[in-house]
Structure 1
Amino acid sequence: MNYFLTYTVYVLILSVLMGISTWKLFKKMGYSPLFAFIPFYNYFIILKETEHPKWWAILSYLPIVGPIMMSVFHIYLMKKFGKTLFQHQLLTVILPFIYMATVNYSKDVEIEDENANDLFITDEEKSAKKKDTFMGSITFAVVFATIIHVFVTQPFGIPTGSMERTLLVGDFLFVNKWSYGYRMPMRPVAIPFLQGTIMDTGQKGNPKDDPKSYVDGIKLPYTRIFQFGKPQKNDVVVFNYPRDSVHTAIDRKDPYVKRCVATAGDTFEMRAGRLFVNGKPETVLGDQEVQHRYIVNTGSQLDIPALYNTYGFLPVQEIQGEKGYIYAFQGLTDKVAKEIKGLPQVIDMKEDVTPKGEAAVYYRDEAKTKIDTTQSIFPINKAWNQDWYGPLRIPKKGDVVTLNQETLPEYKWIISEYEHNSLENKNGKIFINGKEATQYTIQQDYYMMVGDNRDASLDARFFGFVPEENIVGKPMFTWMSIQGAFKDGSSTYQAPFKVRWDRMFKATNTGEANKTSYWWIAAMILILFFGWEYFMKLFGKSKKENEA
C-alpha cells in the first residue's frame, strides 16, 4: 500500500509540473488548460495532436520507462510549436519543465502545421524527417526492450564457478521475475539495462563513488505483487547480494545466483563438507554433481590443458615444489577425482577439508583489527568454517528470537539492515529504535543460498541469510553459453574460447539431467519477426500501388 501511495504522490507532482509548464500550450491547441494537469490524459492529448499512437500514453508514468517516454512526448509537443532544432530537443530532455515553461509563457509562440508545406518540402527537410522517424524507431525499440527487462525477464551471466556443474562459467540466462511474485521497481528513475553503476572507476577508488545508474533520491518502498509461491528447497534462485554496501537500493545491489538449500524455519548444517538440512543429507538432483576440493602432489607437471579438454570445468592452482608439483583442484566429482588419482604422475591425493573448530575469519588489515565480514564465516562469533558449519536455524516471519551478546551477531544485519531499525549495543545492553530489547520479532522470511560447487562458492555461509525482499526470480533457460567468456582468478589456467551449442536454449531450473530444449521457441520468434517485417513491406507496397 505504501508503494502505490508513494507512486501516486510522484505522479501528482509530475502532473502539477506538467500543467504549470504547458497549460497555455494546451489552450492554444483548443483544450481546457486544466487538461494539462490530468495524469495520462495530458499525454494522450499530445499524442492525438501530433498524430502518434494514443495508447503510448499508458507508458508515460511507468517506472524507468516513464522518464524516457515523457521526454519523447515533450519533444513532440515542442515540435508542435515549432521548436524543432537540436538545441530545442536537448533543452527539452535536460530541463523539461523549465524549457517548456519558457515556451509556454512566451508571447509569440504559435502552433506550426507540419503538413501545410509538405508539397514544398526540401530534400534537406525530407532527410531530417527520415532521421526523426529512424530515431523514433530506435527509441521505441529501446523502450520495448526496457519494458521486457524491467517487468518480465532479465538477462544474467555466470562469471564464476560457484554453481558448476549445474550452471557453467559463461552461461547466459534469462531470469523470470514473476517466479515468486513480481517485485516492483524501487528506483523509478534509472538508465535502462544498467544494474547499479554506469562504470567502474577502478580498484583504487571507493566503489561508493562510482557514478550510479539510478537516481537514489527518488525511491519507492519494497512491494511484491501476485506472490503465489516462495522459494523452495533445491530451487536455483537469483537474488540481490544482501551485504552490498555500495547500493542502498535493494533492487540495485549486485545479482547473485545460488541454490536455495534451506528455507525459513529449516536448520542448516555442514559436516566435513557435506550438507545437511533438518538433520538429513541433502537431496542431490539429476543436474547436480557433488564436488569437492582436492590437494594433489605429483612427481612431474600435469598437462592441465589436456585435462580441461577431457573433463571440462577444472579450476586449479599450480605450485612448483622442491621435488615436484602441488595442485589445488576445485570442483572435482568423485569420478573425476578417482581418474586424476590414477594418473602416473600423482604421488598422493586427498580431499581438502578445513578442520572442525577452526573459524574462517579474515581481516581487512595486516594488524588484524578489522574483520572483513564479507569474507568471514557468518556469524563471526562462531568457530565455524565452510566445511564444518552450524547447526543454524533459518529465521521465519513471526519468529520471536532472544537477543543477547551471544545471539546479536546472528540477527544484527536482520534488525538494522534488512528490517530497517536503528540498533545500538552499548554497556552490554541492546537498544532497538531507542528502546532496550531482549527479544525481537522477525518481519519477513529468510533463506540459505549456497553454491553447488561448495568449495568455490562465496555464499550464505559467509554473507548470511538472504531476505525475501532480495529475491529476484528463477533462471528460465540458457540463451547463450561461451567457455572462456570470463577470466577465472582462482585458476592458473584459462579455459579456451568455445561456444557450447549443446547448452543453448536449454531449461535451467528443472533439476533434470536432460534439460528441455527451447530451440523451437527461438526459431518461432525469428520466423515471426522476419515474417511480419516481410508482410508489412508487402502490405505497404500493395497499398501504395492501390493509391496510385
Structure 2
Amino acid sequence: MNYFLTYAVYVLILSVLMGLSTWKLFKKMGYNPLFAFVPFYNYFVIQKETGHPKWWVAIAYLPIVGPIMMTVFHLFLMKHFGKSSFSQQLLTVILPFLYMAFVNYSKDAEVHKEDELYLTEEEKQGKKKESFVGSITFAVVFATIVHVFVTQPFGIPTGSMERTLLVGDFLFVNKWTYGFRMPMRPVAIPFLQGTIMDTGEKGNPKDDPKSYVEGIKLPYERIFQFKKPQKNDIVVFNYPQDSVHKAIDRMDPYVKRCVAVAGDIIEMRAGRLFVNGKPETILGDQQKQHKFIAVTGSQLDIPSLYRQYGFLPVQEIQTQTGFMYDFQGLTDQTAREIKALPQIIELREHIWPKDSAAVAYKVNSTRDAYTKNIDTTQSIFPVNKKWNQDWYGPLKIPKKGDVVTLNQETLPEYQWIISEYEHNKLENRNGKIFINGKETTQYTIQQDYYMMIGDNRDASLDARFFGFVPEENIVGSPMFTWLSVEGLFADKSSSYQPEGKKVRWDRMFKATNTGEAHKTSYWWVAALILILFFGWDYIARLFKKKPKED
C-alpha cells in the first residue's frame, strides 16, 4: 500500500507542475485553466487538440514508460503553439516544466494552426518526418511496456547453471511467475539494467553512469502473488550484495536453482546436497556434476573434448612429469569416459576437506601500508563458519515471522538481513547488539528468504557465498531460450575458449523451467512476438481516427 501512496504523491507533484506551467495555454485552447492540473485529463486535452491518439494517455503515468509519453505530449503541446525548432524541442525534453512555463507566461504564445492545403514542400517533409519519429516512438514504448511489465530478456554469461542453461543462452523471463514486482525506480532509460556504460576494469564501477534516477524511488510492492518460489525452480533474481547499485530492481540479475525455501534446512556433505536431511531431487533437465583433477603423461586434446561434450571448463597446468587438469562440472558418465583416455594416469573427484573454511581476501597495499580484508562476496557464508563448498551447513533458511536469537556467534548469519534487506540500523558495540538504537538479543524476520545454488556446484558463485536471497529480490522465472550461441561469451572458468561462434538451433525456443528432460517447443510464441513487434505500425493505424468524408 505504501507503494501506491508514494506513487500518488509523485503523480500529484507532476500534476501541479504541469498545471503551473501550462494553465494559460489551456485557456488559450478554450479550456478551463484548472484542467491543466487534472491528471490524465490534461494530457487527454493535448492529444485531442493536436490530433494524436487519445488512448496513449492511458500509459502517461506508468513507471519508466510514463516519462517517455509525457515528453511526447509536451512536444505535441509546444508544437501546437508554434515551438517546433530543434532548440525549442530540446528545451522541452531536458527542461520540460521550465520551458513550458516560459512559453505559458510569454505574451506571444498563440495556437499555431496548420492548413494542409497551404503547406510548403519543406513543411510536408517535416510532417512525414514527424510521422516516422512518432511511429518509432510508439515501437519503443510498446517494447518498453513488454520489457518492464511482461517479460525481460536475460543472457547467460557464465557456466554456473551448466548443463541446464548453457553459456550463450538467451532467455525470456516471466515477471509474473511469483507475482509482479512493481518498478522501484520509475524514471529510467528503457532496456538498461543498472548503468549506461561500463568504464572498464581500470575504473570504479560505482562511478559508472547510472541508467536510472536514484533520487526518485518507490518502496517494494508485489502484486498478484499466487505462488512463491518452490524447491527445484530455476529463478532469476537481483544479486543481493551488489555494492554498486542500491536500487533492488537495478542490481545485477542472476539465475540459479532454488534448492531450499524459507524454513528449510540445507546441508552439503562431501559435495552432495541435502535438504531437511534428505538427498536432493534430481530432475530430468538436471545432471549431477562434480569437480575432478586429472593427472596425465601428455597433453590432452581439449578442443576435441570440448566439441564432444559441448561444455568443458578446465584449467591446464604443466608439471615436470606431464600435465594436470582441473575439470569443473563433469558428470559421472563424462568422468568415466575421460578416465578411459590413454593419456590419463589418475582421475579423482576433488572434495574440499571438512572443517576447512573457504575464505578469500581483498589485499590493499601502498608504499606505506598493507591491509588484508575478507572479501565477503568470495568467502563462505556466514564468514565465521568453518564451511566450504563441499561441506556446508546445516543452515536454516529464515522465514517470515521467525524469531531468531542474536549474539556474537549468530550475528554474521543475520546482519545483512537486519541492516540491508530489512533496512534497520544495526550496531555491534562492546559485545552488545543494538537495532534502531535499542539493545536486543532477538529479531523477528520480516520476509521469506531462499537458497539459490547453481547446478554446476564447483563453478558457481551462489548463496553459499553471498547468503540468503530476499523475496523482494525475486524477478521471475525463465520461460524459454530464444537464442543460444556457443562461444559468444568468454568463460573465465576455463583456460580453453571455443573458436568461432555457433548457433545451437536445437535449444532455441525450448522451455527452461519445467524440469523435463525433453523440453516443450515455443516456436509459436516466437512467431507471435515477431508479429506484434513488427506489426506495430499496422496496430497504430487501427487506433487512428478515420477522416470524415465530405
**TM-score, normalised by the number of residues in structure 1:** 0.96
The Cα of 1:520 is off from its aligned counterpart by 2.6
Query: Aligned residue for 1:375?
Result: 378
Q: Structure 1's 431 and 317: CA in aligned 2 closer, same or farther, altered over 3 A?
A: same
Query: Which 10-residue stretch deviates more, 436-445 or 517-526?
Result: 517-526
Distance in 1, matches of 2:262 and 2:524, equals 38
1:466-485 to 2 correspondences below 5 Å? 466-485=469-488
Distance in 1, matches of 2:530 and 2:287, equals 35
The Cα of 1:57 is off from its aligned counterpart by 0.7
The Cα of 1:524 is off from its aligned counterpart by 4.5
Query: Aligned residue for 2:452?
Result: 449
Cα pair 2:135 2:537 within 8 Å, conserved: no
Are positions 1:280 and 2:278 aligned together? yes
Amino acid at match of 1:458: L
Query: Aligned residue for 1:56?
Result: 56
Distance in 1, matches of 2:173 and 2:165, equals 13
Query: Which 10-residue stretch deviates more, 183-192 or 204-213?
Result: 204-213
Amino acid at match of 1:147: I
Name stretches of at least 5 consecutive residues in structure 1 with no aligned partner: none
Distance in 1, matches of 2:173 and 2:9, equals 31
Query: Aligned residue for 2:89?
Result: 89
1:365 aligns to what SS in structure 2? strand
Equivalent residue for 1:522, pick from 501, 523, 526 = 526
The Cα of 1:547 is off from its aligned counterpart by 8.1
Query: Which 10-residue stretch deviates more, 489-498 or 65-74?
Result: 489-498
Are positions 1:504 and 2:508 aligned together? yes
Distance in 2, matches of 1:439 and 1:535, equals 58
The Cα of 1:356 is off from its aligned counterpart by 0.4
1:76 aligns to what SS in structure 2? helix
The Cα of 1:526 is off from its aligned counterpart by 4.3
The Cα of 1:2 is off from its aligned counterpart by 0.7
Query: Which 10-residue stretch deviates more, 492-501 or 141-150?
Result: 492-501
Distance in 1, matches of 2:531 and 2:434, equals 63
Are positions 1:178 and 2:176 aligned together? yes
The Cα of 1:527 is off from its aligned counterpart by 5.7
Cα pair 2:67 2:187 within 8 Å, conserved: yes
Query: Aligned residue for 1:299?
Result: 297
Are positions 1:424 and 2:427 aligned together? yes
2:481 aligns to what SS in structure 1? strand
Amino acid at match of 1:35: F
Query: Aligned residue for 2:142?
Result: 144
Q: Structure 1's 180 and 524: CA in aligned 2 closer, same or farther, altered over 3 A?
A: closer
Cα pair 2:237 2:473 within 8 Å, conserved: yes
Q: Structure 1's 535 and 330: CA in aligned 2 closer, same or farther, altered over 3 A?
A: closer
Query: Aligned residue for 1:486?
Result: 489
The Cα of 1:369 is off from its aligned counterpart by 3.1
Q: Structure 1's 285 and 368: CA in aligned 2 closer, same or farther, altered over 3 A?
A: farther
Are positions 1:193 and 2:197 aligned together? no
Q: Structure 1's 537 and 65: CA in aligned 2 closer, same or farther, altered over 3 A?
A: closer
The C-alpha deviation readout for 1:388-443, integer Å capped at 9, x for no partner, is 00000000000000000000000000000000000000100000000001000000
Query: Aligned residue for 2:200?
Result: 202
Q: Structure 1's 530 and 408: CA in aligned 2 closer, same or farther, altered over 3 A?
A: closer
1:154-173 to 2 correspondences below 5 Å? 154-173=152-171
The C-alpha deviation readout for 1:461-481, integer Å capped at 9, x for no partner, is 000000000000010000000
Amino acid at match of 2:462: D
1:369 aligns to what SS in structure 2? strand
Q: Structure 1's 266 and 535: CA in aligned 2 closer, same or farther, altered over 3 A?
A: closer
2:36 aligns to what SS in structure 1? helix
Are positions 1:436 and 2:434 aligned together? no
Distance in 2, matches of 1:319 and 1:423, equals 46
Are positions 1:14 and 2:17 aligned together? no
Distance in 2, matches of 1:517 and 1:414, equals 40
The Cα of 1:525 is off from its aligned counterpart by 4.7
Cα pair 2:139 2:536 within 8 Å, conserved: no
Distance in 1, matches of 2:50 and 2:539, equals 27
Equivalent residue for 1:350, pick from 348, 351, 359 = 348
1:475 aligns to what SS in structure 2? strand
1:318 aligns to what SS in structure 2? strand
Distance in 2, matches of 1:364 and 1:536, equals 55
Distance in 2, matches of 1:447 and 1:312, equals 31
The Cα of 1:365 is off from its aligned counterpart by 1.0
Distance in 2, matches of 1:509 and 1:152, equals 17
Distance in 2, matches of 1:527 and 1:47, equals 27
Distance in 1, matches of 2:187 and 2:349, equals 50
Q: Structure 1's 358 and 479: CA in aligned 2 closer, same or farther, altered over 3 A?
A: same
Amino acid at match of 1:385: N
The C-alpha deviation readout for 1:285-323, integer Å capped at 9, x for no partner, is 000010011110111111111101111110111111111
Amino acid at match of 2:242: D
Query: Aligned residue for 2:315?
Result: 317
Query: Aligned residue for 2:367?
Result: none
1:15 aligns to what SS in structure 2? helix
Amino acid at match of 2:509: F
Count of paired positions: 542
2:374 aligns to what SS in structure 1? coil
Distance in 1, matches of 2:171 and 2:321, equals 45
1:268 aligns to what SS in structure 2? strand
Query: Aligned residue for 2:123?
Result: 125
Query: Aligned residue for 1:394?
Result: 397
Distance in 2, matches of 1:391 and 1:369, equals 29
Amino acid at match of 1:18: M
Q: Extract structure 1 runs of 4+ deviating beyond 6 A.
A: 528-538
Alignment RMSD (CA, Å): 1.9
Are positions 1:46 and 2:46 aligned together? yes
Identity within the alignment, %: 79
The Cα of 1:521 is off from its aligned counterpart by 2.8
Distance in 1, matches of 2:70 and 2:537, equals 28
Cα pair 2:230 2:261 within 8 Å, conserved: yes
Name stretches of at least 5 consecutive residues in structure 2 with no aligned partner: 365-369
Query: Aligned residue for 1:104?
Result: 104
The Cα of 1:533 is off from its aligned counterpart by 7.0
Amino acid at match of 1:504: M
Equivalent residue for 2:463, pick from 455, 460, 463 = 460
Query: Aligned residue for 2:73?
Result: 73
Q: Structure 1's 353 and 150: CA in aligned 2 closer, same or farther, altered over 3 A?
A: same
Query: Aligned residue for 1:385?
Result: 388
Query: Aligned residue for 2:250?
Result: 252
**TM-score, normalised by the number of residues in structure 2:** 0.96
The C-alpha deviation readout for 1:340-395, integer Å capped at 9, x for no partner, is 00000000011111100110011101766310000000000000000000000000
Q: Structure 1's 81 and 528: CA in aligned 2 closer, same or farther, altered over 3 A?
A: closer
The Cα of 1:532 is off from its aligned counterpart by 8.8
Distance in 2, matches of 1:518 and 1:460, equals 31
1:294 aligns to what SS in structure 2? strand
